[in-house]
Amino acid sequence: MEMHKLAQEHLRTKLLPFWEKLKDEKNGGFYGYMDFDLKVDEKAAKGCILNSRILWFFANAAMVLNDPSLLTYADHAYRFMTEHCLDKEYGGIYWSMNYDGTPADTTKHTYNQAFAVYALASYYDATGNKEALDQAYALMDIIELRCTDEIGYLEAFDRSFAPVENDKLSENGVIAEKTMNTLLHVFEAYTEVYRVAKYDLAGKRLRFMMNVVAEKIYNPEKRRQEVFFDREMNSIIDLHSYGHDIETAWLLDRGLEVLGDAEMTEKLSPVTKALTARIYERAYVDHSLLNECERGVDNTSRIWWVQAEAVVGFFNGWQKQPEHTEYLAAAEDIFRYIMEKLVDAREGSEWYWELDKAGNPASRKPIVEPWKCPYHNGRMCMELIKRTKASQ
C-alpha cells in the first residue's frame, strides 16, 4: 500500500481512537498522563502545550479527513483552553493546569503562547469561529509586546510577564536566554495565522524571523542550526539537533510558500536545501534518524517525534528537488521503521517515546505526558495525505 494510504489508515485506526479515549468528560480537556504500562493518571496535571496540540490535531484531522464529527473533540479542547488555560487577569496562556482546571504552573512561556496561536488559527480554519481567531490575535499581541527585543524572542516569564530563568526550554546542561526551538514554533504559529487570515502583522514578523534564522541561527560553515543562545543570539553550546533541523527545513519551506515573498524565498531556500542535505548525510542511519550530536558525540536514541519530522522533511525535500530521489526513499524507509518498530502494538497504546539503536524500547518513558502528544505523528500522517493529494 502507498505511504499516504498507510498514513491515513494509521491516523484513522490508531492515533484518533487513542486520543479520543483520553477525553476528560468530567473536568474538561484531556487526561495529561499515561505511563509506560498504559495506566492513565486522571489526577495528573494537564499541560497547556498538550491541550493546544490536541486542539490543533483534531481541528486539522477534521479538515484533512473531511470528518466533521472530529470537531466534537476540537470543541472540547477549545473550551478547556478558553475557560481554564487562558489567564483572564494578566493575559496569555499558563504552562499547565491541575486535573480539575485550576492553574498548576502559572509560568508564561513564549513557546506555549505560540502553540496556542497555532491551535486557535487551525480551529478557526476548521470551524469559522471568529472568536478563536481574535484570541490568536490577542496572544500574538502579547508575544510582540511582552516577549520580543530587537534581536529575537525572549522566552520565560512569571504570571505577570516578569522575566524568569528559562529552564523549561533549556537542556544539555545550559540555561539559554533564547532558543532556536522557541523561535521555530513562533514562526510555525504565525505561518498558520497568515495562511488562514493573511494577517499583516504575521507576515511582517515572518520576514523578521526568517532573517534571524538566516543571520543568527543558521551556521553556514556547519550547515546546521545552532540551538541555545545568550540574549544577543550568540551560541552557547556545540549542539546539532537533527530532528529540529529537518523539521525546520520543511516548516521554513511552508512559510515561504504561504508568504509568497520572492526575496525571502531566494534568501532562505538555500538554507532549507542545505539543512535537508546535511541531515541526510549525517543523521540518517539504519532506517531512522539519530537524535542529536553534542560536542561531536552522537546520541543514537531514536526519538518518536524526530522520526515523524524526518518523514515529512525528506518528503518535502524530494518535492522541492525531485531529482533527489534518495530523499523520497529515505522518507519511505523511515515511515516503515516507524510502523514496524516505533508504533506500540499493544492494545490501547500509541507510539513508544524512544527506541535504542537496535529498535527496542530504550526506556519506560510515558506514552502520554505534557510533551508527548498527537502533534508530530498526527501531522506526519496529515502532511503525507495532503501532499500526495496536491500532487495528483
Is residue 341 very low, low, confident or very high in pLDDT (cuts 50, 70, 90)?
Answer: very high
Instruction: Give pTM, 2 decimals.
Output: 0.97
CATH of domain 3-391: 1.50.10.10
Helix/strand/coil for 353: coil
Percent of residues in the chain assigned helix, strand, coil, to nearest 5: 55, 15, 30
Cell numbers placing 345: 502494538
Question: 301 φ, ψ to 5°?
Answer: -60, 145
Cell numbers placing 64: 484533512
Beta bridge partners of 282: none
Helix/strand/coil for 365: coil
The predicted structure's pLDDT at residue 390: 86
Q: What percent of the chain has pLDDT over 90?
A: 98
Q: Yes or no: say if 242 and 291 are a contact pair by the CB < 8 Å rule.
A: yes
In the predicted model, what is the mean pLDDT of the chain? 97
Length of the chain: 392
Kindly write down the DSSP assignment for every residue of 103-143, as one continuous string.
Answer: EEE--EEHHHHHHHHHHHHHHHHHH--HHHHHHHHHHHHHH
pLDDT tens digit sequence for 344-374: 999 999 999 999 989 999 999 999 999 999 9
Is residue 391 very low, low, confident or very high in pLDDT (cuts 50, 70, 90)?
Answer: confident
Cell numbers placing 299: 546520541
Q: What is the C-alpha separation between 74 and 274, in angstroms, rounded?
A: 37
CB-based burial label for 92 (10 Å; 0-12, 13-18, 19+): buried
Residue 220: Cβ within 10 Å count: 10
pLDDT tens digit sequence for 22-56: 999 999 999 999 999 999 999 999 999 999 999 99
Q: Is the pLDDT of residue 1 over 70?
A: no
